[in-house]
Structure 1
Amino acid sequence: MDIKRSLVLLFSSYGCFLFGQEKTIDTIYVFDNQMNRVKLFHPVKTISAEEAGKNSSNLSELLRFQSQVYIKENGRGAVSSPSFRGTTAQQTAFVWNGININSNFLGQGDINNIALFGYDQIGIKAGGGSVIYGSGAIGGSIHLNNTLDFNKGFHGSLFSEAASFNTYNNFVKGSYSNDKFTFKVSGNHSISKNDYQVEVDKRKTYSNDNGQYYNTNINIATAYKIAPHHQISWISEFFNGQQHYPVHFGDLENKTKYETQNTRSLLSWDWSTIKFSNSFKTAYTEENFQYFGNINGAETSGGVGKNYILKNDFNYFLNSKWNVNIIGEFQINKGNGAGSSGIGNINRSAGSIAGLLRYFPTKDLRFEAGIKKDFVEDISSPVLLSFSGKWDIVKWYDVEFNFSRNFRAPSFNDLYWAQGGNMNLKPETSYQFELRNHFKIGDFKLSVTPYYMNIRDMIRWLRTPAGYYGASNTNRVETYGLESQLEFEKKLGKHILKSNLGYSYTKSTDLDIQKKLMYVPLHKFIGNIDYQYDFVKVYVQGMFNGLTYTDSNETKSDALDPYFVMNAGVSTTFFKNYTLGFKINNILNETYYTMLSYPLPKRNYSLTLNINF
């Protein structure tokens, strides 16, 4: 697919469609073809592979220090889930190269069973996005994206890390491309004994016994230009992992573990001309998981979930001001539970049709309106809406507004769990509005975004009169707050200074009982400062979380105390292609929790080596 002054240039030039002379340039192919369009109307924080190396323990650590998402982690490397704007993990969509990969069973993604390495970009988008990215995109979405380059020849890299608690990370990547063909392969293996200790107080020390983990991830991607306007692309990912769950009472408590094997494969045919583009995708995703109530015993419970997906994205330019985008999708979702789940063979079909109309009256003003209808077997799904706009008012100030209606379909566990599943559940729906104010003054960029969200029919597992927990539509949740970000970048000769500071205020209330939702800190602050002189780089990270309730009754005695954690690292590049780095995590030796009873490590260290060839 020769890149002409077409789709990408259209969006990068704010809708000024150019019918000028075609020009062939080097191509960067992005599997999530909607991402460039999304960025026109919504702020998306993009974390590069290089930035990910600063928090190389796992994806949880990366999101905790480089985004305003709250991460709840049951001990380092164990079960981990995100919270966007006061919502839960079920209201967060994980999107792999444009495909929603939330679990069929849980309706969410376990962050520590998603590899950190192997993606070229990690995108973080706060706010609703169900019109484009489907069920679960209520509070926000996390995007795991791969790219392919043409005309770049051969490149390779190796990243190796040795860290505290017998932790080792190794990642290798190789790629080759010419003007018509491109191929990329990467592999990552992480393993840790994870046996850290934390002095909780003068009388008690926590030991992360039975906390070891390992995981392996392989990515393969390729593309071929079969004709001037046609390209075939394929990408696959294979993940295998094992987590042992920490115990609190040593030999008096059964040691448990969890194993998972995930497969994702995507085949795409892209057709692009000067006036339209069409991307037809077929995908297969599979999740396998097994829980062992005793690490030396038989499997206690588990499941297999399979998804077969067809998706077509048609984009047409009526003229220089109007653009039409139609997205159709059909899925077959299958599940088969094991052991105590009581879930038998399940088959559910789902489809959707979405239309987006974009209008670019001037180069400084643009609008987008979207509508979508989902068709989920045995579930009544609402009509979804979105409306967005951006106005570059003056050189130093622009404003964006976004309104959307979003939803989440009940998961297999919500519907079919042996004791507590509810076949009569309604899908969750939400209305959200945000207004982003963006200022540019010299080398500074400041964004201030107030937002409001109302969630109806939230699915909660609550105790029933019979004593067991069951799923029901009982909660109404109202969330409002403020997100702000200050960026600075300055270059003087060989000196480069960059900083990124973020603050969020979040109030999320269960309207039925007028109490705050659990695990939603009222205040969160993150800060990242980078300094480079020639071949030496230094960085400092800081994170503050305010008081965080761990139950639905605002019990202060069980709340997580506020904490401030700081990391720092230094690296030096020699012989152009070799970089040696050293990191100190939790410099202040802070005792802190993101989940009650599971403290995260105190001061720890790592040594890294990166080779490019």
Structure 2
Amino acid sequence: MDIKRSLVLLFSSYGCFLFGQEKALDTIYIFDSQMNKVKLFHHVTNITNEDAEKNSTNLSELLRFQSSVYIKENGRGAVSSPSFRGTTAQQTAFVWNGININSSFLGQGDVNNIALFGYDQIGIKPGGGSVIYGSGAIGGSIHLNNSLDFNKGFHAALFSEFASFNTYNNVVKGSYSNDKFSFKVSGSHSISQNDYEVEEAGGKRYTNDNGKYYNTNFNIAAAYKIAPHHQISWISETFNGKQHYPVRFGDLETKTKYHTQNFRNLMAWDWNTTRFSNSFKAAYTEENFQYFGDITGPETSGGAGKNYILKNDFNYFLNSKWNINIIGEFQVNKGKGEGSSKIGDISRNAGSIAGLLRYFPTKDLRFGAGIKKDFVEDFSSPVLFSFSGKWNANKWYDVGLSISRNFRAPSFNDLYWTPGGNLDLKPETSYQFEWRNQFKLGDFKLSVAPYYMNIRDMIRWLPTASGYYGATNTNRVESYGVESQLEFEKKFGKHMLKSNLGYSYTKSKDLDVQKQLMYVPFHKFTGGIDYQYDFVKVYVQGMFNGLTYTDSNEKRSDALDPYFVMNAGAGATFLTNYTLGFKVNNILNETYYTMLSYPLPGRNYSISLTINF
């Protein structure tokens, strides 16, 4: 990739032309204006809507089979949390169109309360990113991105699926654009009785009793070019979800449920010229939840969080080799607990200023460095930094280096929950090193990335002498390992063959006790083969998960045994715009767990229809 191509990618999200380019680029507007810059230095796995349809149950299933992320799920569709590189869910940042949307209460995102369909692309970035994406981006970040096309006219699509356990997934979307205006709308609805049965060890039958879930998501976005160099845009998302939490002991256990409503709204003004660009964003996000200790009774606890965000991203090219990027952000975070959510009515101001410098000395070499200072009310935050370099050494080998300091601010629950909150908590900080190697040989591509991470002052909830759990800082956690990916793609005539195989090894331990952290598997393999001939497509995908401890003492009797799960599917396109699909999940009918005591479904089926207009 030459330097001009690099610069095009750097600013392609703005749809503007660059210093040294001969004509304007009429491309795609991406709400996360930093994403293409990140891709110049870091590996990001992009999952398209077509890829998402292979694992259409929920976002948990998608991440489990198509990434190295470990997903801990309390039964299908229930509470679900991610783990990057041996870290916790609180150390994974969910980023919606460039805005960090981790819960102010828990400091994390519930994967099953984030819609799978509703985004144009899902990006998975391992490694720290706090300089750009803020608190929680320690182990990695998951990016939910929307985009708007210009000069594309009218398009619409419908995806409808019926699956085992009375599961229905429906998605509809439409868009229209001309040379100045772009509009897009989408909606999705998922519902499932989720009453699967699984045979456990010893011949016992497990029924996912009280496992019903349903959710609805709605997105609307628009952009307008008000002048040759100015564009305004707006995007809004509404999510409404309900989950019944599974029980293991039938009528002997009280059935519970959880409701959540999330609202996100973002407005942006982008100003682009040949040598500089500026993106000003104003965002409002809201999270509401209600917990019912008895599904037939009244709400027993709940909460409401509101976040007001202003963010400005300024870029300037000194010349064709040097780029300056300054990012400023200010937030007001508000939270209120209800019922037994003992958190009170609180408000916190937070701000940050970051500066990044990118240098392109030759067409094959690039460097980037950044520094950031956060200002969070009521506690001191560290100075963060990042450094990245990438060298295209020759046609068959690229090498990249990344060093960074990242952090996580204590959440509202960490600080204010009564009892157990701790106002004296320090923010978590981490130092990370990654060395990425990429080899190319013909139609094969291999990447190998060893990494090391040292986390200080990790926030954990541990038993106290008074009998309740309290938030405290753990001195040091060390995580190291390797991530690798082998890819192959070949087209010949009407045939297309594509395959990938990923492997990750993770060692993550509390240095005080020298034990592996809970729910961190040592080994994980993922892989898939896609084949297409003319109008027919077939695919097979598999996932192997190694031994996983469920406590902090490496107790083997309570550990999750290794398992291998394989899925397969096929689709045929007819009359140009209609695609009929069929898939089988867990072909081998494996009994497997990602969370102790809550197995995931055995063999199950689905049939789908996609219509493009």
1:43 is matched with: 43
2:584 is matched with: 584
8 Å CA contact retained: 1:135, 1:407: yes
Shift of 1:474: 2.2
Does residue 254 (structure 1) correspond to residue 272 (structure 2)? The answer is no
8 Å CA contact retained: 2:6, 2:40: no
1:595 is matched with: 595
Shift of 1:500: 1.2
Aligned partner of residue 33 in structure 1, secondary structure: coil
1:303 is matched with: 303
Judging changes above 3 Å, is the alpha-carbon distance between structure 1 residues 6 and 178 closer, same or farther for their aligned structure 2 residues? farther
Does residue 488 (structure 1) correspond to residue 488 (structure 2)? The answer is yes
8 Å CA contact retained: 1:5, 1:23: no
Shift of 1:339: 1.4
1:119 is matched with: 119
Does residue 435 (structure 1) correspond to residue 428 (structure 2)? The answer is no
Aligned partner of residue 51 in structure 1, secondary structure: helix
Shift of 1:343: 1.2
Aligned partner of residue 530 in structure 1, secondary structure: strand
1:180 is matched with: 180
1:424 is matched with: 424
Q: Is there any run of 5+ residues in structure 1 with no aligned partner, and where? A: none
8 Å CA contact retained: 2:390, 2:401: yes
Matches of 1:23 and 1:319, distance apart in 2: 17
8 Å CA contact retained: 2:163, 2:607: yes
8 Å CA contact retained: 2:19, 2:319: no
Matches of 1:18 and 1:549, distance apart in 2: 51
For residues 122-133 of structure 1, what are the structure 2 equivalents within 5 Å?
122-133=122-133
Matches of 2:20 and 2:464, distance apart in 1: 67
Q: Which amino acid aligns with 1:474?
A: T
Q: How many residues align?
A: 606
Shift of 1:512: 1.0
Does residue 378 (structure 1) correspond to residue 372 (structure 2)? The answer is no
2:513 is matched with: 513
Q: Is there any run of 5+ residues in structure 2 with no aligned partner, and where? A: none
1:287 is matched with: 287
Shift of 1:155: 0.1
1:163 is matched with: 163
CA-based RMSD = 1.3
Matches of 1:413 and 1:495, distance apart in 2: 54
2:55 is matched with: 55
Cα shift readout 1:103-152 (whole Å, capped 9, x = no counterpart)? 00000000000000010000000000000000000000000000000000
Shift of 1:475: 3.8
For residues 268-347 of structure 1, what are the structure 2 equivalents within 5 Å?
268-347=268-347
2:529 is matched with: 529
Shift of 1:379: 1.1
Aligned partner of residue 40 in structure 2, secondary structure: helix
Aligned partner of residue 506 in structure 1, secondary structure: strand
Shift of 1:344: 1.2
Matches of 1:338 and 1:411, distance apart in 2: 17
Shift of 1:479: 0.2
1:392 is matched with: 392
2:477 is matched with: 477
Cα shift readout 1:315-363 (whole Å, capped 9, x = no counterpart)? 0000111100000000000000111121111110000000000111001
Cα shift readout 1:213-234 (whole Å, capped 9, x = no counterpart)? 0000000000000000000000
Q: Which amino acid aligns with 1:232?
A: I
Judging changes above 3 Å, is the alpha-carbon distance between structure 1 residues 582 and 252 closer, same or farther for their aligned structure 2 residues? same
Q: Which amino acid aligns with 2:50?
A: E
8 Å CA contact retained: 1:6, 1:274: no
Cα shift readout 1:45-70 (whole Å, capped 9, x = no counterpart)? 00001110100000000000000000
Q: Which amino acid aligns with 1:170?
A: N
Matches of 2:545 and 2:271, distance apart in 1: 47
For residues 63-142 of structure 1, what are the structure 2 equivalents within 5 Å?
63-142=63-142
Matches of 2:9 and 2:513, distance apart in 1: 51
Q: Which amino acid aligns with 1:172?
A: V
8 Å CA contact retained: 2:547, 2:561: yes
Q: Which amino acid aligns with 2:58?
A: N
Aligned partner of residue 41 in structure 1, secondary structure: coil
Cα shift readout 1:439-476 (whole Å, capped 9, x = no counterpart)? 01100000000000000000000000111100001241
Matches of 2:109 and 2:277, distance apart in 1: 31
Judging changes above 3 Å, is the alpha-carbon distance between structure 1 residues 10 and 457 closer, same or farther for their aligned structure 2 residues? closer
Matches of 1:10 and 1:216, distance apart in 2: 35
Shift of 1:201: 2.8
Matches of 1:161 and 1:528, distance apart in 2: 22
Matches of 1:241 and 1:282, distance apart in 2: 26
